[in-house]
Structure 1
């Protein structure tokens, strides 16, 4: 697949990756560089805004929720600086309302985490009104559920009772799910 996508990247292969998960960000940056992109990374809204002001990229992958603000602010700033930029919004929250907001702000596409480099590349390079092809190995519904539970659990500072309340689950049921290894 790498050979195919290299041919489709425009003359300007600059790519801005914005995510507050540093491990994910670095892994994605390496994978995108192997696919022919020239990547720059930012861990915050403020850092992303500085990079956009310095040199607006042709492509961007932006996390919706960042520690210091909302990724939609970065989408808006990039769209104002460079109208032709292809912007993908990544999020762990696959809600219709946030997808609509992201597209209205100027995002080209919207992907739920965890998306791999192939998914991101397909979304960035998709042309016209065609949707990118479906992923070769999509996450199972059980895995998506488990990932969502883990994210809410972490956001609740690993408090089982608070997580159970927010997810509208019985605390013991949640404890059993958390004790198991995640599905593949």
Structure 2
């Protein structure tokens, strides 16, 4: 990745944008943060970008609606879609509309960079959405974190039997190790 490549960041969370911009700057990547559709389009018209990180939910508006317009204005733009609540349906729709990757929050700056770098080394990954297992695992982890690690509360929130959740957690930890 070249250090002079500019990224466009589109997210309505000002704190997240600020942290992400600083983290990218430490990696030698200049990034411009925008909070809305209008700001993003204005930035595209006035600056050049090679990559874009687009939040799926922009203050109640869908980032998926903005995606085709971004690609119309800059056809070679690589757009990675971020979401706090991922689903297979939105992942597939984002890819169908032209996103090159789809990640669930929270993410690190290294995961974002890797999300773009994987495309350079493996072009066949450009349109492969996350697997059902990955999406399920991300959702389980998000709900588990919301319930501070309480397996019983998490199982209730997921409308899942506690033992089923425990088996999924154990299976995944064995698979990862």
TM-score in terms of structure 2 length: 0.68
**Any unmatched runs of 5+ in structure 2?**
127-136, 148-156, 160-177
Is 1:74 paired with 2:72? no
In 2: Cα distance, 1:78 partner to 1:36 partner: 24
**Any unmatched runs of 5+ in structure 1?**
1-7, 133-139, 151-166, 170-184
Secondary structure at the residue paired with 1:46? helix
RMSD of aligned residue pairs (Cα, Å): 2.8
Choose from 138, 144, 147 the match for 1:146: 144
Native 8 Å contact 1:56 1:81 kept in 2: no
In 1: Cα distance, 2:90 partner to 2:52 partner: 18
Native 8 Å contact 1:52 1:77 kept in 2: no
After TM superposition, the structure 1 stretch with the greater mean CA deviation from structure 2, 112-121 or 70-79, is 70-79
What is the aligned length?
140
- The runs of 4+ residues in structure 1 deviating greater than 3 Å are 140-143
Change (3 A) 1:145 1:105: same
Structure with higher helix content? 2
Is 1:21 paired with 2:19? no
Aligned to 2:36: 44
Aligned to 1:33: 25
Choose from 2, 25, 33 the match for 1:9: 2
Change (3 A) 1:9 1:75: farther
In 1: Cα distance, 2:18 partner to 2:50 partner: 19
Aligned to 1:125: 117
